[in-house]
Amino acid sequence: MNEVRAIPMPGPGADRVAVHGAGLAGLTCALLAARDGFTVTLVGTPSAPVPDLVLNEATIAVLTRVWDDPEERLLDGGHQLTGRSVRWGRDAAPVQVPASAVVVDGQRLVDALEQRLPTAVRRAEVAPAADWTVRAAVRPAGNPPVGRRVLLAGHAPMPSTAVSRMATTGRGWVGVVPVGNGRGLVQAMTPVPPDDPAGFLAEEIEAAGLGGFVTEPPPQVTVMPAAPWLSRQRAEPGRLHIGGAVLRLDPVSGSGAGHALRTAILAAAVIRGIRDGHPAADLLGHYHRRLGAAFHDHLTGCAVHYRAAFDSPEWTGELHITATALTGQAAQLHTRRAGPVFTGRRDVAAMT
Protein backbone atom coordinates (compact mmCIF):
# COMPACT_ATOMS: atom_id res chain seq x y z
CA MET A 1 0.00 0.00 0.00
CA ASN A 2 1.34 3.45 -0.87
CA GLU A 3 2.36 5.44 2.18
CA VAL A 4 1.67 8.87 0.65
CA ARG A 5 -1.33 9.67 -1.51
CA ALA A 6 -0.98 11.74 -4.65
CA ILE A 7 -2.70 14.86 -3.34
CA PRO A 8 -1.27 18.37 -2.83
CA MET A 9 1.49 18.50 -0.23
CA PRO A 10 1.66 21.41 2.23
CA GLY A 11 5.10 22.92 1.96
CA PRO A 12 7.13 25.78 3.41
CA GLY A 13 4.84 28.50 4.72
CA ALA A 14 1.89 26.21 5.46
CA ASP A 15 1.13 27.29 9.01
CA ARG A 16 -2.49 26.40 9.84
CA VAL A 17 -3.05 23.27 11.94
CA ALA A 18 -6.43 21.86 12.97
CA VAL A 19 -6.32 19.24 15.74
CA HIS A 20 -9.41 17.06 16.12
CA GLY A 21 -9.54 15.61 19.64
CA ALA A 22 -8.61 17.16 22.97
CA GLY A 23 -7.26 14.19 24.86
CA LEU A 24 -3.66 13.55 25.87
CA ALA A 25 -2.37 13.22 22.30
CA GLY A 26 -4.40 16.02 20.74
CA LEU A 27 -3.52 18.57 23.42
CA THR A 28 0.17 17.68 23.27
CA CYS A 29 0.28 18.04 19.49
CA ALA A 30 -1.55 21.38 19.73
CA LEU A 31 0.95 22.61 22.33
CA LEU A 32 4.00 21.71 20.26
CA ALA A 33 2.56 23.11 17.04
CA ALA A 34 1.72 26.39 18.77
CA ARG A 35 5.25 26.60 20.19
CA ASP A 36 6.55 26.17 16.66
CA GLY A 37 4.61 29.19 15.50
CA PHE A 38 1.67 27.50 13.79
CA THR A 39 -1.87 28.83 13.96
CA VAL A 40 -3.57 26.03 15.90
CA THR A 41 -7.26 25.26 16.31
CA LEU A 42 -8.73 22.53 18.52
CA VAL A 43 -11.79 21.25 16.71
CA GLY A 44 -14.93 19.70 18.16
CA THR A 45 -16.57 19.44 21.51
CA PRO A 46 -14.54 18.35 24.56
CA SER A 47 -13.58 14.69 24.47
CA ALA A 48 -15.42 11.98 26.41
CA PRO A 49 -14.40 11.56 30.06
CA VAL A 50 -10.90 10.14 30.37
CA PRO A 51 -10.44 7.15 32.73
CA ASP A 52 -7.75 6.73 35.36
CA LEU A 53 -4.29 6.52 33.82
CA VAL A 54 -1.32 4.59 35.18
CA LEU A 55 1.77 6.57 34.13
CA ASN A 56 5.10 4.79 34.37
CA GLU A 57 8.42 6.57 34.83
CA ALA A 58 9.14 6.83 31.11
CA THR A 59 5.73 8.34 30.36
CA ILE A 60 6.03 10.79 33.24
CA ALA A 61 9.43 11.90 31.95
CA VAL A 62 8.00 12.61 28.49
CA LEU A 63 4.87 14.32 29.82
CA THR A 64 6.64 16.63 32.25
CA ARG A 65 9.41 17.54 29.80
CA VAL A 66 7.09 18.39 26.93
CA TRP A 67 4.69 20.32 29.15
CA ASP A 68 7.53 22.11 30.99
CA ASP A 69 6.56 20.74 34.40
CA PRO A 70 9.82 19.91 36.22
CA GLU A 71 8.05 19.94 39.59
CA GLU A 72 5.48 17.41 38.32
CA ARG A 73 2.53 19.51 39.38
CA LEU A 74 0.47 17.77 36.71
CA LEU A 75 0.60 14.67 38.90
CA ASP A 76 -0.83 16.41 41.98
CA GLY A 77 -3.48 14.25 43.60
CA GLY A 78 -2.16 11.09 41.99
CA HIS A 79 -1.50 7.84 43.84
CA GLN A 80 2.11 6.68 43.96
CA LEU A 81 2.92 3.06 43.15
CA THR A 82 6.32 1.58 43.94
CA GLY A 83 6.02 -2.07 42.94
CA ARG A 84 4.09 -4.72 41.07
CA SER A 85 3.30 -8.31 42.02
CA VAL A 86 2.96 -10.59 38.99
CA ARG A 87 1.92 -14.24 38.79
CA TRP A 88 2.02 -15.12 35.11
CA GLY A 89 1.33 -18.59 33.84
CA ARG A 90 0.09 -21.89 35.18
CA ASP A 91 1.67 -22.96 38.49
CA ALA A 92 3.79 -19.78 38.60
CA ALA A 93 4.61 -18.17 41.92
CA PRO A 94 4.01 -14.43 42.45
CA VAL A 95 7.05 -12.26 41.77
CA GLN A 96 7.26 -8.73 43.12
CA VAL A 97 9.30 -6.26 41.09
CA PRO A 98 10.04 -2.55 41.56
CA ALA A 99 7.75 -0.54 39.29
CA SER A 100 7.45 3.16 40.00
CA ALA A 101 4.29 4.72 38.58
CA VAL A 102 1.60 7.25 39.41
CA VAL A 103 -2.13 6.67 38.99
CA VAL A 104 -3.85 9.90 37.96
CA ASP A 105 -7.42 10.93 37.30
CA GLY A 106 -7.31 11.07 33.51
CA GLN A 107 -9.96 13.77 33.19
CA ARG A 108 -8.25 15.95 35.78
CA LEU A 109 -4.95 15.60 33.90
CA VAL A 110 -6.52 16.51 30.54
CA ASP A 111 -8.26 19.53 32.10
CA ALA A 112 -4.94 20.68 33.57
CA LEU A 113 -3.20 20.31 30.21
CA GLU A 114 -5.87 22.34 28.45
CA GLN A 115 -5.42 25.14 30.97
CA ARG A 116 -1.70 25.22 30.12
CA LEU A 117 -2.21 25.63 26.40
CA PRO A 118 -1.02 28.95 24.95
CA THR A 119 -3.84 31.46 24.63
CA ALA A 120 -3.19 31.54 20.88
CA VAL A 121 -4.67 28.03 20.52
CA ARG A 122 -8.24 28.50 19.38
CA ARG A 123 -11.37 26.40 19.92
CA ALA A 124 -13.91 25.72 17.19
CA GLU A 125 -16.84 23.34 16.76
CA VAL A 126 -16.43 23.35 12.98
CA ALA A 127 -13.07 22.71 11.35
CA PRO A 128 -11.57 25.84 9.79
CA ALA A 129 -9.51 25.87 6.61
CA ALA A 130 -6.18 24.31 7.49
CA ASP A 131 -2.94 23.22 5.85
CA TRP A 132 -2.67 20.28 8.24
CA THR A 133 -5.40 18.21 9.86
CA VAL A 134 -4.34 16.12 12.84
CA ARG A 135 -6.85 13.53 13.99
CA ALA A 136 -6.50 12.39 17.58
CA ALA A 137 -9.95 10.88 17.94
CA VAL A 138 -12.30 8.63 15.96
CA ARG A 139 -10.76 5.47 14.60
CA PRO A 140 -10.94 5.26 10.78
CA ALA A 141 -13.28 2.61 9.42
CA GLY A 142 -12.00 -0.49 7.70
CA ASN A 143 -9.06 -1.19 9.99
CA PRO A 144 -9.75 -4.44 11.87
CA PRO A 145 -8.15 -5.13 15.25
CA VAL A 146 -5.69 -7.98 15.75
CA GLY A 147 -8.01 -10.27 17.68
CA ARG A 148 -11.35 -10.22 19.46
CA ARG A 149 -10.35 -9.94 23.10
CA VAL A 150 -12.01 -7.49 25.45
CA LEU A 151 -11.13 -5.79 28.71
CA LEU A 152 -13.55 -5.67 31.63
CA ALA A 153 -12.95 -2.79 34.02
CA GLY A 154 -14.53 -1.31 37.12
CA HIS A 155 -13.71 0.46 40.36
CA ALA A 156 -13.99 -1.28 43.71
CA PRO A 157 -13.16 -0.65 47.37
CA MET A 158 -9.51 -1.51 47.88
CA PRO A 159 -6.75 -0.75 50.42
CA SER A 160 -4.60 2.16 49.25
CA THR A 161 -1.34 0.25 49.04
CA ALA A 162 1.63 1.09 46.79
CA VAL A 163 1.64 -2.24 44.94
CA SER A 164 -0.39 -3.21 41.88
CA ARG A 165 -1.07 -6.87 41.19
CA MET A 166 -1.56 -9.02 38.12
CA ALA A 167 -2.29 -12.75 37.85
CA THR A 168 -3.48 -15.14 35.18
CA THR A 169 -6.38 -17.56 35.30
CA GLY A 170 -7.41 -20.24 32.86
CA ARG A 171 -9.47 -17.67 30.96
CA GLY A 172 -7.25 -14.59 30.93
CA TRP A 173 -5.52 -12.19 33.28
CA VAL A 174 -6.70 -9.97 36.12
CA GLY A 175 -5.09 -6.75 37.36
CA VAL A 176 -5.83 -4.71 40.46
CA VAL A 177 -4.43 -1.21 40.80
CA PRO A 178 -4.92 0.95 43.91
CA VAL A 179 -5.85 4.50 42.92
CA GLY A 180 -5.99 6.01 46.42
CA ASN A 181 -8.72 7.04 48.85
CA GLY A 182 -9.72 3.43 49.46
CA ARG A 183 -10.51 2.73 45.83
CA GLY A 184 -8.92 0.68 43.12
CA LEU A 185 -9.22 -0.22 39.46
CA VAL A 186 -9.95 -3.86 38.64
CA GLN A 187 -9.40 -5.15 35.10
CA ALA A 188 -9.75 -8.54 33.45
CA MET A 189 -8.75 -9.59 29.94
CA THR A 190 -10.66 -12.37 28.18
CA PRO A 191 -10.66 -13.52 24.55
CA VAL A 192 -14.46 -13.82 24.44
CA PRO A 193 -16.94 -11.19 25.67
CA PRO A 194 -18.85 -12.69 28.63
CA ASP A 195 -22.64 -12.72 28.89
CA ASP A 196 -22.51 -11.47 32.49
CA PRO A 197 -19.55 -9.05 32.78
CA ALA A 198 -19.99 -8.26 36.49
CA GLY A 199 -20.36 -11.91 37.45
CA PHE A 200 -17.46 -12.92 35.22
CA LEU A 201 -15.16 -10.29 36.73
CA ALA A 202 -16.08 -11.35 40.28
CA GLU A 203 -15.26 -14.98 39.42
CA GLU A 204 -11.96 -14.03 37.79
CA ILE A 205 -10.84 -12.01 40.82
CA GLU A 206 -11.18 -15.12 42.96
CA ALA A 207 -9.68 -17.44 40.33
CA ALA A 208 -6.63 -15.17 40.14
CA GLY A 209 -6.16 -15.34 43.91
CA LEU A 210 -6.70 -11.59 44.25
CA GLY A 211 -9.87 -11.67 46.32
CA GLY A 212 -7.91 -10.74 49.43
CA PHE A 213 -6.86 -7.44 47.86
CA VAL A 214 -10.33 -6.34 46.73
CA THR A 215 -12.88 -5.54 49.42
CA GLU A 216 -15.77 -6.36 47.10
CA PRO A 217 -16.17 -6.80 43.31
CA PRO A 218 -16.89 -3.71 41.18
CA PRO A 219 -20.63 -2.97 41.17
CA GLN A 220 -20.43 -1.56 37.65
CA VAL A 221 -18.32 -3.06 34.90
CA THR A 222 -17.41 -1.60 31.51
CA VAL A 223 -16.55 -3.89 28.60
CA MET A 224 -14.31 -2.44 25.91
CA PRO A 225 -12.40 -3.76 22.89
CA ALA A 226 -8.80 -4.48 23.81
CA ALA A 227 -7.15 -6.18 20.83
CA PRO A 228 -4.29 -4.17 19.32
CA TRP A 229 -5.06 -2.07 16.30
CA LEU A 230 -3.07 0.10 13.89
CA SER A 231 -4.57 2.37 11.27
CA ARG A 232 -3.54 1.99 7.66
CA GLN A 233 -4.11 5.74 7.43
CA ARG A 234 -1.23 7.22 9.40
CA ALA A 235 0.43 9.93 7.34
CA GLU A 236 -0.48 11.60 4.08
CA PRO A 237 -0.13 15.08 2.63
CA GLY A 238 -1.92 17.52 4.91
CA ARG A 239 -3.18 14.84 7.31
CA LEU A 240 -1.74 12.90 10.24
CA HIS A 241 -3.38 10.49 12.68
CA ILE A 242 -2.20 10.32 16.29
CA GLY A 243 -3.17 8.79 19.64
CA GLY A 244 -6.31 6.70 19.64
CA ALA A 245 -7.04 7.57 16.01
CA VAL A 246 -3.98 5.67 14.83
CA LEU A 247 -3.01 3.08 17.42
CA ARG A 248 -4.40 0.92 20.22
CA LEU A 249 -2.17 -1.26 22.35
CA ASP A 250 -3.13 -4.29 24.40
CA PRO A 251 -3.44 -3.09 28.03
CA VAL A 252 -1.02 -5.82 29.11
CA SER A 253 1.77 -3.53 27.91
CA GLY A 254 0.89 -0.74 30.32
CA SER A 255 2.26 1.81 27.85
CA GLY A 256 -0.76 3.16 26.00
CA ALA A 257 -0.50 6.70 27.39
CA GLY A 258 3.20 6.86 26.55
CA HIS A 259 2.63 5.82 22.95
CA ALA A 260 -0.18 8.35 22.58
CA LEU A 261 2.22 11.09 23.68
CA ARG A 262 4.94 9.91 21.31
CA THR A 263 2.66 9.90 18.29
CA ALA A 264 1.73 13.51 19.08
CA ILE A 265 5.36 14.54 19.48
CA LEU A 266 6.45 12.87 16.28
CA ALA A 267 3.52 14.28 14.28
CA ALA A 268 4.33 17.82 15.43
CA ALA A 269 7.97 17.29 14.45
CA VAL A 270 6.95 16.05 11.00
CA ILE A 271 4.74 19.11 10.37
CA ARG A 272 7.47 21.45 11.56
CA GLY A 273 10.11 19.75 9.43
CA ILE A 274 7.99 19.98 6.27
CA ARG A 275 7.26 23.65 6.91
CA ASP A 276 10.98 24.26 7.33
CA GLY A 277 11.74 22.70 3.96
CA HIS A 278 12.72 19.12 4.73
CA PRO A 279 11.55 16.49 2.21
CA ALA A 280 7.88 15.92 2.92
CA ALA A 281 7.68 12.41 1.48
CA ASP A 282 10.63 11.32 3.62
CA LEU A 283 9.13 12.67 6.84
CA LEU A 284 5.65 11.28 6.19
CA GLY A 285 7.16 7.95 5.22
CA HIS A 286 9.20 7.94 8.41
CA TYR A 287 6.08 8.54 10.50
CA HIS A 288 4.24 5.71 8.74
CA ARG A 289 7.11 3.25 9.16
CA ARG A 290 7.94 4.27 12.72
CA LEU A 291 4.45 3.48 13.93
CA GLY A 292 4.46 0.25 11.95
CA ALA A 293 7.71 -0.82 13.59
CA ALA A 294 6.43 0.04 17.08
CA PHE A 295 3.24 -1.92 16.43
CA HIS A 296 5.21 -4.92 15.18
CA ASP A 297 7.27 -4.88 18.39
CA HIS A 298 4.10 -4.65 20.45
CA LEU A 299 2.47 -7.61 18.71
CA THR A 300 5.64 -9.64 19.20
CA GLY A 301 5.56 -8.93 22.92
CA CYS A 302 1.88 -9.84 23.16
CA ALA A 303 2.50 -13.15 21.41
CA VAL A 304 5.36 -14.04 23.76
CA HIS A 305 3.38 -13.19 26.90
CA TYR A 306 0.13 -14.86 25.93
CA ARG A 307 1.75 -17.98 24.49
CA ALA A 308 3.52 -18.49 27.82
CA ALA A 309 0.30 -18.33 29.82
CA PHE A 310 -2.66 -19.64 27.80
CA ASP A 311 -3.45 -22.70 25.71
CA SER A 312 -7.26 -22.68 25.51
CA PRO A 313 -8.88 -22.82 22.05
CA GLU A 314 -9.98 -19.20 22.41
CA TRP A 315 -6.47 -17.96 23.19
CA THR A 316 -5.01 -20.21 20.49
CA GLY A 317 -7.28 -18.36 18.07
CA GLU A 318 -6.04 -15.01 19.34
CA LEU A 319 -2.43 -16.12 18.92
CA HIS A 320 -3.14 -17.32 15.38
CA ILE A 321 -4.60 -13.93 14.47
CA THR A 322 -1.54 -12.25 16.01
CA ALA A 323 0.86 -14.48 14.07
CA THR A 324 -0.93 -13.67 10.82
CA ALA A 325 -0.76 -9.95 11.56
CA LEU A 326 2.95 -10.19 12.41
CA THR A 327 3.63 -11.80 9.06
CA GLY A 328 1.86 -8.96 7.30
CA GLN A 329 3.62 -6.32 9.38
CA ALA A 330 7.04 -7.86 8.73
CA ALA A 331 6.43 -7.72 4.99
CA GLN A 332 5.78 -3.98 5.22
CA LEU A 333 8.83 -3.12 7.30
CA HIS A 334 12.13 -2.28 5.68
CA THR A 335 15.08 -4.41 6.69
CA ARG A 336 16.74 -1.21 7.90
CA ARG A 337 14.58 0.87 10.17
CA ALA A 338 14.36 4.55 9.42
CA GLY A 339 16.48 6.86 11.52
CA PRO A 340 15.05 9.55 13.79
CA VAL A 341 13.53 12.71 12.45
CA PHE A 342 15.88 15.63 13.03
CA THR A 343 13.92 18.36 14.76
CA GLY A 344 16.60 20.54 16.29
CA ARG A 345 14.56 20.66 19.48
CA ARG A 346 15.52 19.10 22.78
CA ASP A 347 12.00 18.16 23.87
CA VAL A 348 11.55 15.73 21.02
CA ALA A 349 15.04 14.74 19.93
CA ALA A 350 15.21 11.75 22.27
CA MET A 351 11.64 10.62 21.69
CA THR A 352 11.38 10.03 17.96
pLDDT band at 5 (very low <50, low <70, confident <90, very high): very low
pLDDT at residue 349 above 60?
Answer: no
Q: Do 125 and 243 reside in the same domain of the chain?
A: yes
CATH number of the domain where residue 48 is located: 3.50.50.60
DSSP codes, 150-201: EEEEEEEE----SEEEEEE-SS-EEEEEEEETTEEEEEEEESS--SSHHHHH
pLDDT band at 222 (very low <50, low <70, confident <90, very high): very high
The pLDDT assigned to 137 comes to 83
CB 269 within 8 A of CB 341: yes
CA distance 204 to 222: 15
Q: Do 112 and 261 reside in the same domain of the chain?
A: yes
For residue range 17-42, what is the model confidence (pLDDT) as tens digits?
999 999 999 999 999 999 999 999 99
CB 293 within 8 A of CB 263: no
What does the pLDDT average to over 124-135? 94
Q: Do 320 and 255 reside in the same domain of the chain?
A: yes
Average pLDDT value for the chain: 89
Q: Do 330 and 312 reside in the same domain of the chain?
A: yes
CB 97 within 8 A of CB 86: yes
By residue range, what is the domain housing residue 322? Answer: 16-52+105-146+228-349
pLDDT at residue 335 above 80?
Answer: no
CA distance 251 to 267: 23
The pLDDT assigned to 342 comes to 34
H-helix segments, the chain: 24-35, 57-66, 106-116, 197-207, 256-275, 280-309, 313-332, 346-349
Q: Do 176 and 266 reside in the same domain of the chain?
A: no
Percentage of residues in the chain having pLDDT higher than 70: 88
24-35 helix and 57-66 helix, angle to the nearest 10 degrees: 40
Q: Do 305 and 326 reside in the same domain of the chain?
A: yes
**Angle at Cα 153 formed by Cα 206 and Cα 183, nearest 5°?**
80
pLDDT band at 138 (very low <50, low <70, confident <90, very high): confident
Given 207, 225, 243, the domain boundary residue is 225
- 149, 140, 146, 150: which is closest to 326 by C-alpha? 146
Percentage of residues in the chain having pLDDT higher than 90: 82
What does the pLDDT average to over 300-312? 96
Q: Do 128 and 258 reside in the same domain of the chain?
A: yes
**Angle at Cα 144 formed by Cα 139 and Cα 146, nearest 5°?**
115
Choice between 2 and 141, residue whose per-residue pLDDT is larger: 141
The pLDDT assigned to 42 comes to 95
For residue range 85-108, what is the model confidence (pLDDT) as tens digits?
999 998 899 999 999 999 999 999
